[in-house]
Structure formats: structure tokens, C-alpha cells
Amino acid sequence: MGNTVVKISKYDYNNKYKDVPELSSLNSREDVATFLDTFEESGLKGYNIEKVLTKNSKYIFVYSDKITGWDFFKEINKLSSIDIDITPQNIKILFDKTKSRGYFTEEDYTPAINTSDMSMSVDEDAPTGFMGDDSPILDSVDRRLLHVRRGVRLPINDAHGIIIGRSTSQSEYTVNNTKVSRKHAQVYKEGNKCMVHDFDSANGTFIDGLRVRSDLDRELLVGSSLMLADEEFKLV
């Protein structure tokens, strides 16, 4: 494996990396997770970043000896096409490091091998090695909470899970809806179960029409409807 390259000076960019295209968008959760992972690995503070390069879906930060005014969260929200306001409170929950593709290496410069002359037989019915949402392994460890209106899938991976509400300072996933309380509810794992806690919300938290009491957490089953006021979520 080649040496990792996560940051380069403006001088190195002009002399070696000028053919690497500049990043223009982040279109998936893997893109955002890789961007975050690479930025943290670079050790840069952000204020002196000139631009971000991309090749093979990995990133390189170009830094300067001058203050550029580059801001991480402003930049990541500008580049991201995902319908989520990315904040310091939610970024590592929604885009955890396990989704990162890793770092750019010198091998990423290696020209692709021409396979046009190679004869290969392909079994179209052979398994691909990818697991679908109905995989029994994913069933026990990798649940997602689907926000129906926005089509966003939130990972529910541990005993903390995710806090949902209207406030960006009190919640990790924010919902722009005045009927939703600032800190409305929490969905978390307890063993292999997904549980729901209500923070005494004004307009209530409901599972399949039954209200979740603030003093008694309830299990959320796959396919069940979770309503935070009039915002619908489903466990998938």
C-alpha cells in the first residue's frame, strides 16, 4: 500500500497534484463520512485550507500559509446534497467513521490496467457479497430509523442512539416543525431491541397510535410507525 496523502501544501499542489480535480459535491453518506475522517486525520484547523481535491472518491486538503477563512461546517453543508443540516452535534452520529472509504494513497495515481484483452467468464447468478436490508446479520446490529418526509435514514447503533427534536443545541437530528418539541424523543438500542424515550414532549410521541409515556420507554418494532407530533418515522 502506498503512503497516505490527506493534506498537501499549496506548493505541492502546484508542482505535483494539479491534475487532481477539485471536489464539487458530497452526494452520499459515505462521501460525508470520508470527508470528515480525512479532515480529522489531516490535523488541520481549517482556517488555512485553500481547496479540497478528490480522486477515487477520496480527498486531499490543500492548505496555505495564509488565513483563508475556510470553515468546515459551512463548507460541508455547501458541498452536501443530503437533505440534512450537518452540525457538530449530529455529524459523528449520522456519518460515523465506519462509513469512510479511507484515505488517498500514492497508489491512487496508478493508471488503471487495461482489461479489454482479458477473457473472463462471469456467473450472473453468483452472490455479490453485499447484504440487503433483510439480512439476518443486519437485523440484529444495524437498524435505521427512516424519517418518512425527508427520506433520511438515521443509524441506531448503541445504547445512546439518537435524540430527535427541533433544537440544534439539544438534539442530534433536528426537525424543522414547530409541533415537535426542542428535545422531543430518543431512539436507542437495548440489547437487540430498539427503544423509544419521550422527553415529556408537548405534542407527544406515539408508536402505532399509542402514546409513549415519559416515564415508561417502549419498544419500537420493525415497520412500526413512530410519530413525533405529526412527523412520521419508521424502523427499517
CATH of the domain at 201: 2.60.200.20
**Residue 165 near residue 159 (C-beta atoms within 8 A):** no
Strands 205-207 and 162-165: unpaired
Do 74 and 168 fall into the same domain?
Answer: no
Claim to verify: residue 15 and residue 102 sit in the same structural domain:
yes
Same domain? For 94 and 185 the reply is no
Taking 70 as the pLDDT cut, the residues of the chain under it are 1-2, 108-142
Q: Are residues 98 and 148 in the same domain?
A: no
State the residue range of the domain holding 180.
138-235
Is 223 contained in some domain? yes
Determine whether 182 is exposed, middle or buried from the number of CB atoms within 10 Å of its CB (0-12, 13-18, 19+). middle
Does one domain contain both 105 and 154? no
Beta strand spans in 56-183 (E): 58-63, 143-147, 152-156, 162-165, 173-174
Res 49: pLDDT = 93
What is the number of domains present in the chain? 2
**Which residue, chain included where needed, has cell 452520529?**
93
Q: Is the pTM of this model over 0.85?
A: no
Q: Which residues have C-beta within 8 Å of that of residue 6, sequence separation ≥ 6?
A: 38, 41, 42, 59, 60, 61, 103, 104
Residues 105 and 152 in one domain: no
Note whether residue 124 is domain-resident: no
**Do 103 and 11 share a structural domain?**
yes
For residues 18 and 95, membership in a common domain is answered with yes
Which pLDDT does position 131 carry in this prediction? 36
Cβ atoms of 145 and 222 closer than 8 Å: no
Is residue 158 domain-resident? yes
For residue 120, the model assigns a pLDDT of 44
In a domain, 122, yes or no: no
Pairwise CA distance, residues 164 & 118, whole Å: 53
Res 62: pLDDT: 94
Rounded to an integer, what distance in angstroms lies between the CA atom of residue 13 and that of residue 7? 10
Tell me: do 105 and 17 sit in the same domain.
Answer: yes
The grid coordinates of residue 87 equal 452540525
Answer yes or no: is 229 within a domain. yes
Closest CA to 196 of 230, 164, 174: 164
pLDDT at position 198 is 97
User: Is position 206 within any domain?
Assistant: yes
85 and 148 in a single domain? The answer is no
Q: Check whether residue 79 and residue 143 sit in a common domain.
A: no
**Any idea what DSSP says for residue 129?**
S
